[in-house]
Amino acid sequence: METEKLQYWLGLSAFGKIGPKRFELLYRYFKSAEKIWKSEKGDLRKSGLSEKLINEFLTFRQKF
């Protein structure tokens, strides 16, 4: 895996509230870890995540 792509996988794995099932849900919707990481709030909502989890993820992403 390219180093550039690996950083998105690592970032997502560092967020403890995205486990294997949620990751699979997100990956099916976005088709790449990079797209998941860079996604907008509306797209995360459309993917099936709860509002609470979306807000926690966006906060985590800013701090990471």
Q: What is the pLDDT of residue 1?
A: 64
Question: How is residue 12 written in tokens?
Answer: 């997502």
Q: What is the pLDDT of residue 3?
A: 78
Taking 70 as the pLDDT cut, the residues of the chain under it are: 1
Q: How far is CA 64 from CA 25, 29, 46, 52, in A?
A: 22, 23, 23, 18
Q: State how far the Cα of 59 lies from the Cα of 25, in Å rounded to an integer.
A: 20
Q: What is the pLDDT of residue 2?
A: 80
Q: What is the pLDDT of residue 61?
A: 97
pTM to 2 decimal places: 0.90
Question: How is residue 62 written in tokens?
Answer: 């800013």
Q: What is the pLDDT of residue 64?
A: 93
